[in-house]
Chain A
Amino acid sequence: MINVLYFARLKDTLGIAAEEIDPVASNGKVDITDVASLRERLCQRGERWQNALSQQRLMTAVNQEMAQADTPLADGDEVAFFPPVTGG
């Protein structure tokens, strides 16, 4: 399972802080192999998810390191989606 976390405004918009996603799709094949394919799977949920996850400066981390669309994902990884950070 891939552990997916959402933070800040994104968490409020989507109404969820964390969930587990099975990289194996309903047809029995692994269709989540990187950040981009995970986003695609989540966007299948509908317009609210598509809008939230296509925002221009969305940031992603995989196993607590900043990641890109092509960062590979494996079973057991942790992915976090969040808006641009505003600490400091």
Chain B
Amino acid sequence: MPHIHVQAEDFDTQAIISKLTAGHGEIGAIVSFTGLVRDLPGQSLQSMTLEHYPAMTEKALAEIVESAMQRWDLIDVAVVHRVGELQPSDRIVLVVTSSAHRREAFLACEYIMDYLKTRAPFWKKETTSDGEHWVDAKNSDGEATSRWE
């Protein structure tokens, strides 16, 4: 059963991996991706705020995960995405995929991140000494999904 959580609190990656693998001797491969808040040049990022559409975020993440699990032979998946105010180097997102062999776990992890970046309703706002400004979506993120089609 996929574990999908949207939360303000930080997450414990090792605890999540342990929970995913417990009792699943058939898992031979675990791949995890962690996204961090990257600072701006000159360490000028004061904070980053993640806004989201509460009624839709977990649903959207669940659909992306379901799509990955239909496409590849995965054993289980966990996705955790934080919201609210974060600091530079804070963890934002975790994607963990597990499978018998490594190929599926690697591909599915990348696929899930590519679709999360373009379909999951979160928005980043940066705060610097100049004030607050919404981060623009990148063209490269939009293009990344096309290679899966």
B53 near A5 with CB under 8 A, answer: yes
Q: A8-B51, A61-B53, A80-B53 are in contact. Are A88 and B92 (CB under 8 A)?
A: yes
B134 near A83 with CB under 8 A, answer: yes
A87 near B124 with CB under 8 A, answer: yes
Determine if A86 is an interface residue (Cβ-Cβ < 8 Å).
yes
Instruction: Report the minimum CB–CB distance from A70 to chain B (whole Å).
Output: 19
Q: How many residues of A contact B (CB 8 A)?
A: 19
Complex contacts, B121 vs chain A, CB 8 Å: 7, 61, 80, 82, 85, 87
B123 near A86 with CB under 8 A, answer: yes
Q: A9-B134, A87-B116, A88-B92 are in contact. Are A61 and B56 (CB under 8 A)?
A: yes
Q: Which of A12, A57, A64 contacts B59 (CB 8 A)?
A: A64
Q: Give Cα A80–Cα B56 distance, bound, in whole angstroms.
A: 10
B53 near A87 with CB under 8 A, answer: no
User: Which residues of B98-149 have CB atoms within 8 Å of chain A's CB atoms?
Assistant: 113, 116-125, 134-137, 142
Instruction: Report the minimum CB–CB distance from B57 to chain A (whole Å).
Output: 8
A87 near B134 with CB under 8 A, answer: no
Q: How many residues of B contact A (CB 8 A)?
A: 28
- Counted as pairs of residues, one from A and one from B, with CB atoms less than 8 Å apart, the total is 75
Chain B contact residues, majority secondary structure:
mixed
Q: A61-B121, A66-B119 are in contact. Are A86 and B53 (CB under 8 A)?
A: no
A88 near B81 with CB under 8 A, answer: yes
Complex contacts, B125 vs chain A, CB 8 Å: 8
User: Which residues of A2-57 have CB atoms within 8 Å of chain B's CB atoms?
Assistant: 5, 7-9, 12, 57
Determine if B50 is an interface residue (Cβ-Cβ < 8 Å).
yes
Q: Interface residues, chain A, CB within 8 Å of chain B?
A: 5, 7-9, 12, 57, 61, 64-66, 78, 80, 82-88
